Amino acid sequence: MDVAVIAGIIMIISVVVMLVMGVPIGISIGMSSALAMITILPFGPGIVTCAQKMFTGVNSFSLLAIPFFILAGNIMNNGGIAIRLVNCARLISGRLPGSLAQTNIVANMLFGAISGSGTAAAAAIGGTMAPIELEEGYDKDYVAAVNIASAPTGQLIPPSNTLIVYATVAGSVSVAACSWQVTYRALPGVFPDVYCGIHGKKRGYVSTFSVTPKEALKVLWDALPSLLLIIIVIGGILKGVFTATEGSAIAVVYALILSLCYRSLKIKDLPSIILSSCKTTCIVIFMIGVSSIMSWVMAYTMIPTAIANAMLSLSSNKYVILLLMNVILLVVGTFMDPTPAVLIFTPIFLPICQSFGMDPVQFGIMIVFNLCIGTITPPVGVILFTGCKVVGISIEGVIKTLLPFFAAIAVVLLLVTYVPAMSMWIPSMLGLVK
């Protein structure tokens, strides 16, 4: 039997068995990769190679951005940012039908851009907005569905740890190019926003929001320092003032100063915030390390080539292949965290897409978008669970209301997949990609 087939069977069976046994996914990936490794190489050299690949995989300057952005997000989550962004978002959408729901969407986009976490957005913004919406007569299922559908936009808006990981794995992809996307980032929020307006009017969610010019200026003034974080970090990276890693450190300092100025964060809170950030960072970095072993095994045994040949044997049409990739990634995203999924599937699918002429930046947007959708889909979507818990509703009670949002997001996904300009026109215009 071919060595690629043997290694592939060992990895698949061992991962499935360990996941069924309740073993954490990081350990499952590492153990299965090690088992496959020692079938290729003798035991001693195989174990040494595993250790080398783990250290090599995490030995990247770009990856230093991840712990800093995680820490910045946690500081923001505890620093009184949510309510200021909610108030700012309400200025934008407060007079529209279903205004509170639309405020929820805009606030999730703003907060997600700052925290970089869809789960944090669902908890912080949802926790702030849900009581207000329910008091105004909004249905629980509608409140939960809006919050869940819009929360993942945070994982697509800089600073995006998932895109940083992708840029590192892909090798020659610019972090700045992946970060500077406007069109596709707005649409996941715009499409649900339009639906909210239509559905909000149908359900009779009429806006009673009014604000004086003086009050509006006060709200904007309060939210401006928080919004400046995005401009400072992304603008600095694009202008070459600092790297993405240096920008992440600046984000931590800025977030800390801002939260202390708001007096929503106390010095005594910092140890617990730092500890929580360290735990999250350790999980992410460990995932990257063990996935590096798997990537090496797949490259050595030419598994990606075998998978590519198998897919191309089904069809030579690039549109069909891309659709098949989307389906696979959507299924994977329902039970796997975006970070390990990016690490596993980038080496497999990227060469295929490049053979069709797809730019690595566009592929990065496509794969991350797919996996973000997985965070809101059953059976184990983490944002789905968080959104339901915030509102106090079962998953069964919200799925029906979520379906139109899934349809809107699917349309955006197809546009990102099949229309290169959706992801590429701004980076091309700025000279970030050729």
Enumerate residues 6+ apart whose C-beta is below 8 A from 283.
Answer: 26
Band (186; pLDDT cuts 50, 70, 90): very low
Distances (CA, A) of 386 to 123, 138, 248, 389: 6, 19, 26, 5
Cβ–Cβ < 8 Å for 152, 376: yes
* 136 has a pLDDT exceeding 50: yes
Structure-block tokens of residue 152: 């993942």
The residue ranges of every structural domain in the chain are: 3-429
pTM of the model: 0.71
pLDDT at residue number 400: 85
**Helix, strand, coil proportions of the chain in percent (round to 5)?**
80, 0, 20
- pLDDT per residue over 217-259, tens digit each? 887 887 788 778 777 777 777 677 877 778 778 888 888 888 8
User: What string of H, E and C letters represents the secondary structure of 170-190?
Assistant: HCCCCHHHHHCCCHHHHHHHH
Cβ–Cβ < 8 Å for 105, 193: yes
Instruction: Say which DSSP state 394 is in.
Output: -
Flag the least confident range among 96-105, 111-120, 355-364, 377-386.
Answer: 111-120
Q: Which residue has the higher pLDDT, 334 or 202?
A: 334
Residue 377 sits at the vertex; the CA angle it makes with 170 and 366, to the nearest 5 degrees, is 25
The neighbour count for residue 386, using CB atoms within 10 Å, is 22
Share of the chain above pLDDT 90, in %: 0
* 140 has a pLDDT exceeding 50: yes
Band (95; pLDDT cuts 50, 70, 90): low
Cβ–Cβ < 8 Å for 154, 59: no
Cis peptide before 379 (omega within 30 of 0): yes
Helix (H) or strand (E) segment spanning residue 316: none
CA distance 432 to 434: 7
Q: Which residue has the higher pLDDT, 123 or 238?
A: 123
CA distance 230 to 326: 30
* 59 has a pLDDT exceeding 50: yes
Residue 337, classed as helix, strand or coil, is: coil
